Amino acid sequence: MPKLNRPLVYLFDGDGPLLNSAEPALAALNQVLESFDLKPLDIDTWRERQNPNLKRFYESLGVPANDVNEAINRYRAYFDGMKFMVTEPAEVTSALKLLRSRRIGVVTSMSRKSWEGYSRRFGFDDFIGVAVTRDDCDEQKPSPVPLYVAMEKLGIQKKKVRAHEVRGIMVGDSVTDIVAGHAAGLETAAIVYEGSYSNRERLLAKQPTYLIPHIGVVANRMALRGSRQHYEKNNTA
């Protein structure tokens, strides 16, 4: 196995790695489904049905095509009323403290207003250099473009970013995070834990560089190396 160099850039998804938001997200979605007289989902089914294409996602759940935009707006309104349920995973602050000498960014599909609210609430402003939200980029994950934007905002030369010459890692708990990270030329760390947005099987199918149980592993080079060795050992044909 090649030498494990410490990444220069660490990019994190907001929901999942930095925020325990799966419970209110599922509750908000089920309110939307019930408002359309559709059957609510359990958490396992929800994880299996995740789709970055929201139109296809809602249609697959039975929402009429003409009502998808309304469903999305209802979801955001319902979730906004449940923000008090969002918590911070136990390992986040300690991991960010250990990484504070690195260039740290967030790439999230949430709005700028929502991210800034969470960042103030949990003190992320002290550690995270930039955040790219859905309001800051025309493209969203799984496209690599928002990751490019984040790295450029962190001071990495554009030509290096676009040529995939940046030593970095994308940390997330959804398929879109892993796909976007690979497409941007970065290593990827898939987090699988009780509050994850995607299940283990779907994440493994995208072949992340590392498979880890919590964000604390990312800040520990030996633990990260161990997760890679374990992952490779258990996924060799």
Whether pLDDT at 172 is above 90: yes
Domain extents in the chain: 9-20+87-233, 22-84
Residues in the chain: 237
Whether pLDDT at 194 is above 80: no
pLDDT on residue 113: 95
Band of residue 2 on the pLDDT scale cut at 50, 70, 90: very low
Distance CA 170, CA 206 (A): 13
Please give the CATH topology (third level) of the domain spanning 9-20+87-233: Rossmann fold (3.40.50)
pLDDT on residue 1: 39
Whether pLDDT at 195 is above 70: no
Band of residue 106 on the pLDDT scale cut at 50, 70, 90: very high
Buried-exposed string 23-41: b where 16+ CB fall within 10 A, e elsewhere: ebbbebbbbbbeeeeeeeb
CB 172 within 8 A of CB 181: yes
Omega prior to 142 cis, within 30 of 0: yes
Dihedral sign for Cα 43, 45, 50, 51, please: negative
Distance CA 18, CA 119 (A): 10
CB 8 within 8 A of CB 155: no
Whether pLDDT at 229 is above 90: no
Mean pLDDT of 226-230: 76
The candidate with the shortest Cα–Cα distance to 10, out of 220, 223, 230, 201, is 220
Average pLDDT of the chain, as a whole number: 91
Hey, what are 211's tokens?
């498979």
pLDDT digits (tens, 9 = 90+) for 25-79: 999 999 999 999 999 999 889 988 888 889 999 999 999 999 999 999 999 999 9
Residues 6+ apart with CB under 8 A from 216: 91, 94, 95, 223
Whether pLDDT at 237 is above 50: no
pLDDT on residue 5: 62
Compute φ and ψ for 103, nearest 5 degrees: -95, 115
Whether pLDDT at 222 is above 90: no
